[in-house]
Structure 1
């Protein structure tokens, strides 16, 4: 009897928890405007999946943001890049909401942040307030929308995470209202021969498959002739009704002769697996053509948890003499869908396009650490730096080293070291390891110096060299002049820039006291708010010191009047 009661209770708990997996009425919208999205959850981004939704803010900053439910602020982070000004609120039901790219916080939170910044004498901070210290309530003002950090325009990046696992979940699963009656768009369809000897339309390499729209809105691909193990991929995007943005798909299904063999969706994923996006997409194609093909099959190194169904890794074994119908269904969260049907005939024909694997003297075994000595330079690739084995192209000429090319995705940081013995001390003082862009312009990589060794850790392949930066940063006033009366000014700002290695630090004092200046790298602007400190002198002496990444420094001084 006890066992039956326990089993019943167990089933009831799990039934309730299943129903409450994504509560539809627990949260309000963070904004009091219609929700129009510039980005969706799981959207394909550079080296990562998008962990939230990007809500358009009518091309404006300063719109009020409201707590989606009662809770307490558990984390505040202010940084020059990434999420910029970000706020994390834990809610009693086990979820945490995240608000990013903020212009500023609500008055009480802003006061707490400013106090911490002055204590740490730093604009960039990350703090974890004592639980319950900064309580918020549903519908209460918590921040204002902005464009800080890595944002490319005003919007609110909004997330809902598990407070325990910190895994982000799709915010649209919680009942937020976004108008969407638009089907996903299919841009391209591709077939891949995957096994030795496999062919698609007489090719051993990726083949683009033409398709046409049918009367019912679906698409029909041209018949392909194939043998061996093959797979398919799609280039596709989704749109909502009120925006032209090409957003990410929510779900993809693949069937063969009516049987589901692969399916994935973007309900949730973990941050630890987000870089595995480079195994979902055809990274080589993306690096060359700037378009992301999503594979309907798994490849080596793909450990993503997004799959709901996976039979034979989503790969299709095509036998000669048999016919197959492959159906790929693209879906959004509102239930809109786009289908493409691909007729496949098992027929072996003479190959016209053969796959050639470039071979070099050096071979990477992805599961093992790999060391290479190139004379003045050394490379160390930890185990699983790459997702698969391949021949790596390594070349060295003088103080320049080429580490393959950007067609191969990198999972972990690898180490590149230069022996600087024999270089003049005057050169080494301001030298750094640089990665050359397509126009051979050197870009700073964080460089560690120890004795005669310069070292950098990076996840970027390409060409590296030793470069020198001898030019200090530039500083000039933006909205004021020396000896000017600034009584009615709310803030003062300066423009700072560096021509090569980039800005590392900045510090400002007013009448000898440290002041907080906000740095916006996108506009190269330093801004000071006069509300921060009550000045007790008419004449104010400003000093700003800016230092670049190799130690060159510039000091700017000016004075102004205020009462």
Structure 2
């Protein structure tokens, strides 16, 4: 009888173990032979899929373009151009190609499109009189074959240097998928680099070496390449977070780690990877990292426990949400494995001895008069300001520090992340400046005190904004118009051999809202590059009659101040 019970128990343990292993290694099979690389150069990555970025996960891979622009970008398979977006920010000039096997590829930060696509886009831009445009061609408009040149690499939008941003998406669900899983050949023989580890006490009675809160663990590298922390004495509910990066062969960029696994006494306890996720959940990154640490020290630590509000789908295993219950008198070994997509692995061992110790540094008391319930609407009034937080603006319940000091409104602090926008309104009826009231706006303050324009609406005697920023806010006035000047030509100059006309535009306070340029009264397409405050006009875009032409450029800031710049030039088209 005892033998039968033992065999049943052994069978159950083995089944659970095999289930865990299968769960951790399960991965959908993606077509690896259907696609070619989007560039005809060895693939070296400046950024990889799932990499931690400001308020989001990186949705693709950033392919280095040998520090230059203008490389031919290829369609990785047959399909059709299903979307084109041209923006000052974000992906800049971006192309979306839908393929018949259920996937869509995305190419971002482009310098320009191929001839046929470029003509299609410019025609629409002139029809709409707008540089920024979003188009959805039909299946018959712009068909492409595998290997066709569809664009040229660039540095447009929110790019910090020349590269190609490249994505795979499930066409039906719009989920983004790691491009390396589709057979993109990126050499990687190096294991991830481990940099640091933190411990956390996760309830009011837990402690690490007599301290509560965040605890820095000391560690050393062992002869076998693994890492070992000093033994900690602890009790209660604990969690850990690690800091590290991965890099591929031929590249020294600090890229993201593909997979993190935590084991407790040799048994898998938590596992996550960056195979795929949805855009909707990308903002959950602020619950995944140690957000206060990121704000204060600009260090991104990845938690191996699931904090309140974290709804990410990247977890394959999450025993007890990754939180460890440490009992007095027991010994534990926590193993954290950092893996890249090729399986190269770095191991960190954390020995723990369960021991009750008196708490010398307890949690600070953070209670205030304002307690926010995260899953419902919350409304507050302070002096001449009102604050409305819609339900689920915050990830979890919070005591808020809201106060008015002189002319500064403090809305809690920047260490707390938000997952959505909230409404902030100021009554400015006390301002006796009725002629220029439209020149006032709401600004948030950076930590160094410099202002940042918040998208402000004026209605009657109130200014309001929707923002995702916490911290300090003030009301400012901007009565200085933007500046505009020509860079590469003078008034009354012949420019027959010029390919481009370039202008410099800027605004010192509220920022540029719009610009409009015409030649002989006809709207012209100018490309705005916010990174260096330039506007560029391609002289080949249009044909004008005669040789003498008048150019007029009007630039308007966010509160309505405007500047009109005029030049006469001579050119035979």
Q: How high is the TM-score relative to the length of structure 2?
A: 0.94
In 1, are the aligned partners of 2:438 and 2:458 still within 8 Å (CA)?
A: no
What residue is the counterpart of 1:105 in the other structure? 113
Q: Give the Cα separation in 2 of the matches to 1:390 and 1:487.
A: 64
What residue is the counterpart of 1:543 in the other structure? 552
Is 1:556 aligned to residue 565 of structure 2? yes
Once the two structures are superposed, residues 496-537 of structure 1 have per-residue CA deviations (whole angstroms, 9 ceiling, x without a partner) of 000111111111111111110111111111111011112221
Q: Give the Cα separation in 1 of the matches to 2:96 and 2:29.
A: 21
Is 1:445 aligned to residue 445 of structure 2? no
Structure 1's 426 and 397: CA in aligned 2 closer, same or farther, altered over 3 A? farther
Is 1:34 aligned to residue 62 of structure 2? no
What residue is the counterpart of 1:15 in the other structure? none
**For residues 106-505 of structure 1, what are the structure 2 equivalents within 5 Å?**
106-423=114-431, 424-505=433-514
What residue is the counterpart of 2:14 in the other structure? none
What residue is the counterpart of 1:21 in the other structure? 29
In 2, are the aligned partners of 1:300 and 1:388 still within 8 Å (CA)?
A: yes
Q: Give the Cα separation in 2 of the matches to 1:364 and 1:250.
A: 35
CA RMSD of aligned residues (A): 1.1
Structure 1's 210 and 317: CA in aligned 2 closer, same or farther, altered over 3 A? same
Q: Give the Cα separation in 2 of the matches to 1:194 and 1:92.
A: 49
Q: Give the Cα separation in 2 of the matches to 1:384 and 1:139.
A: 46
Is 1:508 aligned to residue 517 of structure 2? yes
Once the two structures are superposed, residues 64-122 of structure 1 have per-residue CA deviations (whole angstroms, 9 ceiling, x without a partner) of 00000000011000000011000000000000000000000000000000000000000
For structure 2, list consecutive stretches of 5 or more residues without a partner in the other structure.
1-25
In 2, are the aligned partners of 1:257 and 1:324 still within 8 Å (CA)?
A: yes
Q: Give the Cα separation in 2 of the matches to 1:172 and 1:34.
A: 14
In 2, are the aligned partners of 1:376 and 1:399 still within 8 Å (CA)?
A: no
Question: What secondary structure does 1:387 align onto?
Answer: coil
Once the two structures are superposed, residues 452-483 of structure 1 have per-residue CA deviations (whole angstroms, 9 ceiling, x without a partner) of 11100000001111101111010110111111
Offset, 1:19: 9.4
Question: What secondary structure does 2:294 align onto?
Answer: helix
What residue is the counterpart of 1:3 in the other structure? none
Offset, 1:562: 1.0
Question: What secondary structure does 2:119 align onto?
Answer: helix
Q: Give the Cα separation in 2 of the matches to 1:441 and 1:293.
A: 28
Offset, 1:429: 2.2
For structure 1, list consecutive stretches of 5 or more residues without a partner in the other structure.
1-17
Once the two structures are superposed, residues 278-300 of structure 1 have per-residue CA deviations (whole angstroms, 9 ceiling, x without a partner) of 11111011111110111001111
In 2, are the aligned partners of 1:73 and 1:132 still within 8 Å (CA)?
A: no
Structure 1's 309 and 76: CA in aligned 2 closer, same or farther, altered over 3 A? same
Question: What secondary structure does 1:83 align onto?
Answer: coil
What residue is the counterpart of 2:528 in the other structure? 519
Question: What secondary structure does 1:429 align onto?
Answer: helix
Q: Give the Cα separation in 2 of the matches to 1:334 and 1:357.
A: 46
The match for 1:76 among 64, 78, 84 is: 84
What residue is the counterpart of 1:14 in the other structure? none
Alignment size in residue pairs: 546
Offset, 1:206: 1.1
In 2, are the aligned partners of 1:232 and 1:296 still within 8 Å (CA)?
A: yes
Offset, 1:399: 4.2
Q: Give the Cα separation in 1 of the matches to 2:408 and 2:566.
A: 40
Q: Give the Cα separation in 1 of the matches to 2:365 and 2:262.
A: 29
In 2, are the aligned partners of 1:220 and 1:340 still within 8 Å (CA)?
A: yes
